[in-house]
Amino acid sequence: MILYTPPSNPSYAAEATAYAPALSDSIVLTPDRLTTGVRHWLVFAAAMVLVSVPVFIQAPLVRYLPWISLGLTPVLILLAMRLLRRSATHLWGDLLLGFTWTWLSGSIYWGWLRWEPFFHLPIEAIGLPFAIWGIARQMGKVGNFFYLGSLFGTVVTDLYFYIVKLIPHWRSLMQVEGESVQPVFQSALAQINTPWGTSWAIVLALLLLVVSILPLRRQQLHWWAFSGAVMSTILVDSLFWLAAVMA
């Protein structure tokens, strides 16, 4: 701590008193700005990680143990509620609560309905009415916007499957294992590498990129959660494309 002793001259003392509030404000606000900036990027990074969790952790679990995946949903809700009760962890509880909708829908669809692509979006949107209700009442905005960002990324990805006519490959992939996966991947990749498939991949990737970048201009944390969720869709889709190429 630095102590300031004003000079004995009355004019200097008055001047020091006049500038004291401004000096105090600058000292207090600077660390706050840094803390706010870090918090925004942490929410963005956490949103990206949470979108990846269903792909890399839930997918293998739900394929063989769907009931365990579904049973983890109330565990996640209880954990989120516990975090929400404390001011220090309220933000992360909010985000986790929004994530539970993606976990629940993933457990239901990939556990029992993955053979039918037409059920994918309706199941993924299971939490949409609740998210809209919460946002309308200014409740849980970070988690709800995260869920909307994740759902938006899913819509764009599924749209590509429909436009490029990859739905038959989706169905086939859900019914084969082991070495039988490679021919399906190769057939799907041939469809993607056509001028039609490549053009739409570029268009929709740019759409995801623009939608993920624009919210970063806003200061509200819920927009950063939305942005991170959409941005992560680009990463996950790229990894799927890489897996098809290497198959």
What does the pLDDT read at residue 247? 61
What does the pLDDT read at residue 56? 81
What does the pLDDT read at residue 198? 93
Name, in order, each residue with C-beta under 8 angstroms of 53's C-beta and a sequence gap of 6 or more: 99, 103
What does the pLDDT read at residue 5? 38
Nearest of 145, 147, 151, 152 to residue 220 by alpha carbon: 145
The H-assigned helical ranges of the chain are 10-53, 59-64, 66-84, 90-108, 120-124, 128-136, 141-163, 167-173, 181-192, 195-213, 221-246
What does the pLDDT read at residue 10? 46
What does the pLDDT read at residue 27? 32
User: Is residue 102 within a helix (H) or strand (E), and if so which, with residue range?
Assistant: helix 90-108
What does the pLDDT read at residue 57? 86
What does the pLDDT read at residue 214? 95
In the predicted model, residues of the chain with pLDDT beneath 70 are 1-34, 243-244, 247
Give the integer Cα–Cα distance in Å for 202 and 198. Answer: 6
**pLDDT tens string 96-106:** 999 999 999 99
